[in-house]
Amino acid sequence: MLGRTPRPPRPAPLPSAWRLLRGSLGVMKRRWRPLVGITAVGAVTTGLLSASRDLAADPALAVYRSLATLVMNTALIWAVIRLHQGQPVTLRSAYYSGTAALVRFMLVALVLALQLVPLAAGAIIYDQGTGSAAVAVSLGERLLLGLIWLVLALPTLYWLTRSIFSLYIVQEPEVTPVQALRRSTAAVRGRTLAVARRLLVLAVLAVVVMALPPLALAVTVGLRQPFWLLALLQLATSLVLLPLAAVYGYRLYRALEITRTSG
């Protein structure tokens, strides 16, 4: 009688979201200068291109803001990886050497943007269904539209959870965008829900932190908030939140790689 084929060992459990966040804050505390400096270059550039409501609404400038954001994130992720490896990082090296993978990074980012289409479609359906002033929308209809939005959002959340780490992998030399996406999917396979929970904690933290400046202004100066002051507070928030998110994501990816091989 043939014996059963042994099952492959289960991967070791991932560190908790709190442990990942605490470790990320430790990295920020020790190496905040290069991380905040790299973020500031991109954030200030996009901030200047959004210094007024007219500039913020200009579609031509939106292209430059998107490009500046991509360049900044490429340099920031490169710096996070090098700091994890114990290598020195400067502002110049991050934007000079780090952006060598910019084209590959942009192609991966394009794939991730396409994965947002179902979520965006659900948002449009909900907004169109509930935003009309001419037709009264009942609570039941709102719940139905919200359910449709949720159903459409699920593929986006699933795809992003499995693909998000390709932004780090594509920084490796000679790795193509397709290879990066496949390796990210392989790293998450079998632990999609666990990874999604840890990414959700980061997303909730980001929403809460980004909501603090408008709430603080609403309490102190009322609803008529100066646009420049709100933009300044959001800039200060992004200088901490963006590098923290980059460090958190890379630590989670490394944990996936380590626990998969040590299970």
Give tens-digit pLDDT for 226-251. 666 677 777 888 899 999 999 999 99
Q: Helices 139-163 and 102-115: crossing angle, nearest 10°?
A: 150
Give the model's confidence band at 13: pLDDT under 50 very low, under 70 low, under 90 confident, else very high.
confident
| pLDDT of residue 135 exceeding 70 | no
166 assigned to some structural domain = yes
How far is C-alpha 224 from the chain's CA centre? 30
Distance, in Å, from the CA atom of 233 to the CA atom of 237, rounded to the nearest integer, reads: 6
208 assigned to some structural domain = yes
Question: What pLDDT, on a 0 to 100 scale, did the predictor assign at position 155?
Answer: 95
Contact 28, 35 (CB under 8 A): yes
What DSSP designation does 89 have?
-
CB-CB neighbours of 25 under 10 Å: 14
12 assigned to some structural domain = no
| pLDDT of residue 53 exceeding 80 | no
| pLDDT of residue 51 exceeding 60 | no
245 assigned to some structural domain = yes
Q: Which domain holds residue 163?
A: 17-262
Question: What pLDDT, on a 0 to 100 scale, did the predictor assign at position 145?
Answer: 86
Distance, in Å, from the CA atom of 120 to the CA atom of 49, rounded to the nearest integer, reads: 25
Distance, in Å, from the CA atom of 187 to the CA atom of 258, rounded to the nearest integer, reads: 10
5 assigned to some structural domain = no
255 assigned to some structural domain = yes
7 assigned to some structural domain = no
Q: Please give the model's pTM, rounded to 2 decimal places.
A: 0.86
Question: What pLDDT, on a 0 to 100 scale, did the predictor assign at position 242?
Answer: 94
Average pLDDT over residues 13-22: 93
Give the model's confidence band at 12: pLDDT under 50 very low, under 70 low, under 90 confident, else very high.
confident
179 assigned to some structural domain = yes
Query: For the chain, how many structural domains are there in total?
Result: 1
